[in-house]
Amino acid sequence: MRFTSRGPAPQRRNDIQTIKSLLPYVWQFKWRVIAAIICLVAAKVASVILPLFLKDIVDKLSVPATLLALPVAALVGYGFARLASSVFGELRDALFARVTQGSIRRIAAQLFQHLFALSLRFHMQRQTGGLSRDIERGTKGIGFLLNFMVFNILPTLLEISMVAAILLWRYEWPFAVATLGTIGSYIAFTLFVTEKRMVYRRSMNDLDSKANTKAIDALINYETVKYFGNEGYELDRYDRNLGKWVDSAVKNQVSLNFLNMGQAAIITVGVTLLLWLSASGVVNQTMTVGDVVLVSAYLTQLYAPLNFLGFVYREIKHALADMERMFGLMELGEEVADRPGAKKLRTSQASVTFENVDFGYEANRQILFGVDFTIPAGHTLAVVGASGAGKSTLSRLLFRFYDVNAGAIKINDIDIRDLTQASLRHHIGIVPQDTVLFNDTILYNIAYGNPLATQEEIVQAAKSSSIHDFVMGLPDGYQTQVGERGLKLSGGEKQRVAIARTLLKNPPVLILDEATSALDTKTERAIQEELSQIARNRTTLIIAHRLSTIVDADEIMVLDQGRVQERGTHRDLLARQGRYAQMWAMQQARQEAV
């Protein structure tokens, strides 16, 4: 038997892959990128020629007083170069701001879209706290990477190249060799130690996500924690993960201190060597005081950003580690995807057919076995059966949250796999058994069925679901906040909001999955009458527990362990004295006992 694929799991990415994933988003702003790079080069050229003007000033002011003259040209050039360095640097930052923020926005939007494209299986297995933390760290990492690559890494490397070239051009080769040797040693040491340190950063990320997941999970299930008095247990779970995170953080800090000490030693040796060479040149009268000032200025200008470069490189590696998970999410394959050339469903009347459908969530756990039925357009089919029989699975397959393992599901004789998912779901409305609302107003939650609906249409839907009077009795009316997952409303009130937003959607196919299970008897009867009126003009699939709510269905189907056991009208099934008749008798006996 064939089971659907979950999509390939992302492999461990390397830094080059992560940067390649980022570049297309950056290059969408290519003209800004090019302009920013031009400003970057101009700023660094101006910065590198500053010490040359300073040397001329010092040399001209070092002559005997009788020959002393104001070095106007050198002073003007120095001032112009310093101004140009600052102005071009600010222009670079201004131009690149849109690139950074625009890239983050587009990546975040695409990731958000991709997460909705992933299957229900992924979202049932995900851990929301860890997922949100991975996305948050990843987007921050993008901003850090782009800013420091353009504002620090590239300028520093460009400056190093120009300074080395000037030293080689104006002085003996030992100056350039000492400069490049120090830089090479510094970079090699930084790369080696930082790579060793990355294992601690990845460990910190994993443990941080796990701790955050446990914290959010416990807070979301606040009532359950309080019911069972397990606050201490949840705190212990959270604290154990934090303890492991602290161990990794300490190791990370110790290795950072070692890296800083090594970098300081390398820079100290390089600076001392270059100053010794320039001082020797003055003593030997092969160099002037201005040359010493020039070399000193280059040392200050070069090693200050180089020292910062070590910090930047470490943080960039951290940012890349943070971005790994985010781009890894974007590479998760879609289990259920539109076929090439999929058609849009456009109809006001729809028949629904299940043809010998087999399905299992896991390879070793099959749920449905050869399920076969048709709901003609405008008719109602009710499905009953014990818990775990596969009733709710029918609605998930009809929405195409999963693809069937065998057989087919058709709407108007078209396989739903040949339709776009968006158009398919646009034609289906559902009132689920477990209703979860957005943490917003009642108005927002009802209007979610059709965001373009008018106030009058929203109110009419609320009236049809018997919730309008309740809403109007609240101090804030339709602007009442429902709280996280709708916790401020009772189960029945949430169910009525769910019914209202489905009515507002006005779909040709309607699924009622235990739609009135959370309502009291009086409210259930009122809503049931409304639902019966609505279902007459729609193709309706009712998943029911209370058999009294489905006696008027055009056909009733009994599912038992994923197989169709009986089907027929209410009267026919009672006459057969089979499984349905037994269920009916048991429920009637319970009602009489009450």
**Whether the predicted pLDDT of 9 surpasses 50:** no
d(CA 371, CA 397): 12
pLDDT band at 298 (very low <50, low <70, confident <90, very high): confident
**Whether the predicted pLDDT of 129 surpasses 80:** no
3-state secondary structure 467-535: CHHHHHCCCCHHHCECCHHHCCCCHHHHHHHHHHHHHHHCCCEEEEECCCCCCCHHHHHHHHHHHHHHH
Report pLDDT for 14. Answer: 63
User: For residues 410 and 198, which has the higher predicted lDDT (pLDDT)?
Assistant: 410
Superfamily of domain 341-427+507-594 in the CATH hierarchy: P-loop containing nucleotide triphosphate hydrolases (3.40.50.300)
Rounded average pLDDT over 63-87: 69
Return the CATH architecture of domain 18-330. Up-down Bundle (1.20)
Report pLDDT for 418. Answer: 92
Report pLDDT for 204. Answer: 75
Report pLDDT for 358. Answer: 92
pLDDT band at 60 (very low <50, low <70, confident <90, very high): low
Average pLDDT in the chain: 79
Report pLDDT for 340. Answer: 87
d(CA 86, CA 47): 9
Q: Token digits for 552?
A: 């008027």
User: For residues 208 and 508, which has the higher predicted lDDT (pLDDT)?
Assistant: 508
pLDDT band at 7 (very low <50, low <70, confident <90, very high): very low
User: For residues 65 and 19, which has the higher predicted lDDT (pLDDT)?
Assistant: 19
Q: Of 208-217, 268-277, 356-365, give the range with the top mean pLDDT.
A: 356-365
Share of the chain above pLDDT 90, in %: 6
pLDDT band at 308 (very low <50, low <70, confident <90, very high): low
**Whether the predicted pLDDT of 393 surpasses 80:** yes
Q: Token digits for 592?
A: 């009489």
Please list, in sequence order, all residues whose beta carbon lies within 8 angstroms of the beta carbon of residue 428, skipping any fewer than 6 positions away. 398, 399, 507, 509, 510, 511
Rounded average pLDDT over 221-226: 72
CATH 3.20.20.70 applies to domain 436-506 = no
Report pLDDT for 49. Answer: 78
Amino acid at 479: Q
Residue labelled with tokens 């299930």: 221
Report pLDDT for 353. Answer: 92
d(CA 40, CA 88): 7
**Whether the predicted pLDDT of 354 surpasses 90:** yes
Share of the chain above pLDDT 70, in %: 85
pLDDT band at 527 (very low <50, low <70, confident <90, very high): low
Amino acid at 311: F
d(CA 37, CA 44): 11
**Whether the predicted pLDDT of 405 surpasses 80:** yes
Rounded average pLDDT over 311-332: 75
User: For residues 294 and 343, which has the higher predicted lDDT (pLDDT)?
Assistant: 343
Strand partners, 511: 430, 541
Does this chain's domain 341-427+507-594 share its CATH topology with 436-506? yes
pLDDT band at 303 (very low <50, low <70, confident <90, very high): low
Is 403 within 8 Å of 417 (Cβ atoms)? yes
Strand partners, 3: none
**Whether the predicted pLDDT of 504 surpasses 80:** yes
The residues spanned by each domain of the chain are 18-330, 341-427+507-594, 436-506
Report pLDDT for 65. Answer: 46
Q: Token digits for 260?
A: 């800083």
Provide the terminal-to-terminal Cα distance of the chain, rounded to the nearest Å. Answer: 47
**Whether the predicted pLDDT of 229 surpasses 80:** no
Based on its alpha-carbon atoms, the radius of gyration of the chain, rounded to whole angstroms, reads 35
Report pLDDT for 154. Answer: 77
**Whether the predicted pLDDT of 4 surpasses 50:** no
